[in-house]
Amino acid sequence: MSEEKIKNKKEKLPFAKNEVYRLMRDNLDSDKMIKDQVKVEMNKFLYAILKNVCKQLNEYPYTTVDYGMFKECIYPYQNIEKINQEKERILMHLDAIKADCDALAMDVEKSLRMKDTVENDSIADFSIPEEKEE
């Protein structure tokens, strides 16, 4: 037996391996095969999510955990698609703002460009007017 298989057999997993496998099997296409390492890592992943939710629940000052608190803590996991859509919307809006800023910067650079000579300066004439002879 390889060293990795021995390690996995000795390793204590937080959830029953067969139950995690059954749930995966129920939700995957029937033609998919699940490698043993995936079953183990899914088990660890689910435990990591459980720990994160509990960590958030511990931040509440109350001694009793209620359903509302639980729903609040699992929101990111249940609404990941909505969160990703909002992220994309914000990024597109920021790109539009960046494009506006770039256009304004070009306008400022074009209109406030320093010219080498006074004759080429189209913004303002800062030369001293010559006095007309009478």
Phi then psi dihedrals of residue 16, to 5 deg: -65, 125
User: Is residue 25 included in any domain, yes or no?
Assistant: yes
pLDDT per residue as tens digits for the range 3-36: 565 555 667 899 998 999 999 999 999 999 999 9
User: Is residue 74 included in any domain, yes or no?
Assistant: no
Contact 34, 25 (CB under 8 A): yes
- Residue 129: Cβ-neighbour burial (10 angstroms; 0-12, 13-18, 19+): exposed
User: Is residue 23 included in any domain, yes or no?
Assistant: yes
* Cβ-based neighbours of 65, under 8 Å, separated by 6 or more: 57
User: Is residue 37 included in any domain, yes or no?
Assistant: yes
Instruction: Tell me what pLDDT residue 10 has.
Output: 67
pLDDT per residue as tens digits for the range 63-117: 999 999 999 999 988 888 998 999 999 999 999 999 999 999 888 888 776 554 5
How many DSSP H helices and E strands does the chain contain?
A: 5, 0
User: Is residue 46 included in any domain, yes or no?
Assistant: yes
User: Is residue 109 included in any domain, yes or no?
Assistant: no
User: Is residue 19 included in any domain, yes or no?
Assistant: yes
User: Count of domains in the chain?
Assistant: 1
